[in-house]
Amino acid sequence: MATLKTKLFLLYLLSTSFDLQHNKMYDTDEYGHRLQIFTENKRIIDHHNAGNHSFKMGLNKFSDMKFEEFRKFFLLTEPQNCSATKGSHVSKTGPYPEFVDWRLKGNFVSPVKNQGYCGSCWAFSTTGCLESVNAITIGKLILLVRFVGVPSQAFEYIKYNKGLMTEEDYPYKGHDATCHFEPALAAVYVLDVVNITRYDEKAMVDAVAWLNPVTFSFDVMADFMHYKEGVYTSTQCKNTADRVNHAVLAVGYGTEENGMPYWIVKNSWGTDWGMDGYFLIERGKNMCGLATCSTYPLCTV
């Protein structure tokens, strides 16, 4: 059995490797504080992984942060009015394919991005969805500029603003600023916005199965910060529209061998988080409010 001194030394080596891997630099006082947080997060991760859960946790670039800090930098803290009670999506009659992944259908999903220390997940969800819908419509994937806005409202903005510029013409800055849209450089146009009826997760399946990826928002809890792989579920998160604090992109769905259905979801925290920047979340139960705020645009050819 390892002595306490040996355990502390191994923890020091692990934390030092973590600092180097994620390019962390602290002064002496800050290092002690971060090491304490890192140690507690590792304890939480190890305890979770020792239990019987549908997903695994792991150390990542957020492991030296408390959830309160993480929430401040990466999530929205104000309630969002982001969904319609009655949506405009019209479902087809089933049956649906058992498995869908738009990444495998062609060049329809843009690479995973990193929003940085900015609560701009809505921008990445919005433009990620618009990039996919436009690629499916015209057969070419065009990378677009990221800007903050609740997805359904952001699509409306793009529609009435008459287009959106490319990422090449307007690079992402990662901080709040005034937008400087140049109409002459607009590359993609929104014809209309389609909201999915609140709590109608079957309609989300319908849209992803037959049309395109869709945006959705959900209530991120502390354990999600440590997600590594598997199908995420939670008994602590809320499932109402006023509690959602993070927007993402559903690019497909499937079912585990044990029968648990899931969504395949693109996040905006970089490829060094989760499953190369993606995660799976339980489908069919409005998990963490994911069916309260789902939408997608229609693009002009």
Question: Where in the sequence numbering do the catalytic residues fall?
Answer: 121, 246, 267
Q: Which two tokens stand for residue 52?
A: 């019987």
- Which H helix or E strand runs over 231? strand 227-232
Closest CA to 124 of 80, 87, 74: 74
> Are β-strands 190-196 and 55-57 bridged in parallel, bridged antiparallel, or unpaired?
unpaired
Contact of 109 with 251, CB cutoff 8 Å: yes
Cα 156 to Cα 139: distance, rounded to the nearest angstrom: 23
Alpha helices (H) in 75-188, listed in sequence order: 121-138, 151-160
Give the Cβ contact number of residue 193 at 10 Å: 20
Q: Which two tokens stand for residue 72?
A: 């401040």
Contact of 41 with 63, CB cutoff 8 Å: yes
Which DSSP letter does residue 94 get? S
Residue for token pair 């190369």: 276
Q: With the C-alpha atoms ordered 216, 221, 225, 226, is the resulting torsion angle positive or negative?
A: negative
Which residue type sits at 267?
A: N
- Which H helix or E strand runs over 216? strand 214-218
Q: Give whole-number Cα distances, 147 to 19, 119, 216, in Å.
A: 31, 11, 17
Which DSSP letter does residue 36 get? H
Closest CA to 136 of 159, 166, 112, 102: 102
